[in-house]
Amino acid sequence: MTKFKEILKKNIYSRDDIIYLISQSEHEQLLFEKAYEVKKKYVGTNVYFRGLIELSNICTRNCFYCGIRKGNKNIDRFQLSKEDIVEKAIWAYEAGYGSAVLQGGERSDPEFINFIENVLKLITHKTNGKAGITLSLGEQTEETYTRWLNAGAHRYLLRIESSNPDIYHNIHPDTDKFSSRIAALKLIQKCGYQTGTGVMIGLPQQTYADLADDILFFKENDIDMIGMGPFIPHHDTPMANAFDNFDQMAEEQLKLALRVIAVTRIIMKDINIASSTALQALDSKGRERGLLAGANIIMPNVTDTQYRKGYQLYDGKPGLDENCNSSRINLEKSIHNTGEKIGYNMLGDSPHFFERIKNK
Ligand code: 5AD
């Protein structure tokens, strides 16, 4: 106990300190409380909503963990129309959500690039440029990132999945290079986006030291936004049986993710951190627990119910029978129960982004 408390009191954590804090579940409540204090001081207790639009499950990649990987023949593929995406983005804007997130399987063919560019222009036009738009559409070229930025997107999420190249290569086909992932993330930052990344927590063979290095990677790369959550096996993927008895370890997996979120908050202080849906998949109160461990962003799904079944990245993804209205009502209730406020009609930008560009 004393060692845990001594470390928590420090202003700067060494790599060993981080490893220790992540590995000790016994005193984790103290860690969560400290992370919450830091969050209150640096970003406040407003929770910002991002309306998540899952625009397509068509994907050119074959990531071993992901339910919408190209090789999964057991799902029906869908692609929302331009009108549907724009309508959802406007719904999110009018509902007072700080921004919409356009997420989908990875494609880089010219037709797709044009399609997204047109969608962005339409959303920007219909909201007089006032709606925040975040993209989560994988690795693209500098030209594509720039075109999408000019069309109205201003934030981009690209998880590195793991900062350990060996783990990265273990969970991706040989054609996917860790170096390309990092290069893409740097391009996003260079183009001028508020830049988000993240990892999966609790991957096979991932150690506490790996997770500490993930956090140090975020810090070294001056990341503005983090979205990370527990790894959850999907039954139709090569990693379906990565663990013998995942159900029995689900709560531990969740708590590990919460500790990594908490340490990230204490170290990165003024960034935005999402309380991911994967937390909620392991516990119906997972996202609220994420907020109390230092996260300040929630991405309510605004995709129509009929498409949700087709976007199961992992097993047990919640909200399958909800629509955007019922998601909103359920979330409002549970967030108020945590004592936090919802930052309606605010963009809720990452304060870190402005510090970063000021110091350039
Ligand atoms: N478990 C947890 N997260 C997953 N993702 C994909 N598959 C899984 C899984 N099985 C995450 C990846 C990806 C994001 C969109 O979803 O980190 O970047």
Q: Report pLDDT digits (tens) over 322-337.
A: 888 888 888 898 899 8
**pLDDT value of residue 20:** 98
Query: From ligand 1's centre to the CA of 313, what distance in Å?
Result: 6
**pLDDT higher than 80, residue 359:** no
Q: Which residue's CA lies nearest to atom 2 of ligand 1? A: 231
pTM: 0.97
Closest CA to 271 of 229, 220, 218, 346: 218
Any idea what DSSP says for residue 163? S
Q: Report pLDDT digits (tens) over 209-245.
A: 999 999 999 999 999 999 999 999 999 999 999 999 9
| Residues whose CB falls within 8 Å of the CB of residue 65, separated by 6 or more in sequence, listed in order | 171, 200, 203, 231, 233, 234, 237, 239, 242, 314
Task: Tell me the domain boundaries of the chain.
Answer: 36-358
Q: Looking at ligand 1, which atom is closest to the CA of residue 228?
A: 17
Whether ligand 1 lies within 6 angstroms of the CB of 35 is answered as no
Q: How would DSSP label each residue in 191-254?
A: HT-EEEE-BEES-TT--HHHHHHHHHHHHHTT-SEEEEEE----TTSTTTTSSTTHHHHHHHHH
Cβ atoms 234, 315 nearer than 8 A: yes
- CATH code of 36-358, in short, is 3.20.20.70
Q: Report pLDDT digits (tens) over 109-135.
A: 999 999 999 999 999 999 999 999 999
Q: Report pLDDT digits (tens) over 80-104.
A: 999 999 999 999 999 999 899 999 9
Q: Per-residue pLDDT averaged across 235-256, rounded?
A: 97
Query: From ligand 1's centre to the CA of 343, what distance in Å?
Result: 26
Tokens for 314, please give them.
Answer: 């992992």
Paired residues of 79 in beta bridges: 56
